[in-house]
């Protein structure tokens, strides 16, 4: 069953997206409800896997200055197996199934061009991979984790 978010849930999520360290007291003042209400709603959002609280790393600040999007073609009936192998390649941070000519797309963020090459070689080692299209990211202008506005 899909949980229907109400205005208060949206408000909590929006405030946390702007400042993940905001206190329940400040949230309650901002949203004009009691702190107990915030605590209960927050717990509900966590329990229903709607909200997860994680530290987000600025990749550039930790030396990860190169990125690429890699489109992947695979042998028929092998998407699930390839996904499992891609999950084992540590620099891959995002994997999605897509429509079109390339059924898989991955995104990587690494230190330099040499690391991009290493990942490409690692993906090419997967037996069911038949073709790659690599798109090097030259500059990133927006990278957000805000899904609710």
pTM greater than 0.85? no
d(CA 74, CA 140): 28
- Backbone φ, ψ for residue 31 (5° rounding): -100, 5
pLDDT digits (tens, 9 = 90+) for 37-88: 999 999 999 999 999 988 888 888 888 889 999 999 999 999 999 999 999 9
Token pair 């059924």 in the structure block, residue: 103
Give the rounded percent of residues in the chain with a pLDDT score beyond 70: 98
Average pLDDT over the chain reads: 93
Highest mean pLDDT among 15-24, 120-129, 133-142: 120-129
Give the pLDDT mean for 92-96. Answer: 96
| pLDDT band, very low/low/confident/very high, at 149 (cuts 50, 70, 90) | low
**For the sheet containing 129-137, what is the strand order?**
92-97, 104-110, 66-74, 129-137
């Amino acid at each position: 069953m899909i949980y229907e978010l109400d205005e208060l849930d949206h408000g909590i999520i929006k405030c946390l997206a702007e400042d993940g360290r905001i206190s329940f007291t400040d949230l309650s003042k901002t949203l004009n409800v009691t702190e107990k209400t915030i605590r209960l709603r927050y717990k509900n959002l966590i329990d229903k896997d709607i909200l997860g609280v994680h530290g987000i790393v600025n990749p550039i600040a930790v030396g990860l200055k190169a990125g690429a999007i890699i489109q992947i073609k695979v042998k028929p009936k092998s998407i699930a197996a390839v996904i499992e192998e891609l999950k084992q390649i540590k620099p891959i941070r995002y994997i999605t199934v897509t429509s079109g000519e390339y059924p898989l797309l991955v995104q990587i963020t690494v230190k330099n061009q040499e690391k991009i090459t290493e990942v490409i070689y690692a993906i090419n080692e997967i037996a069911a991979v038949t073709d790659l299209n690599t798109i090097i990211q030259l500059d990133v202008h927006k990278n957000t984790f805000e899904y609710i506005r």
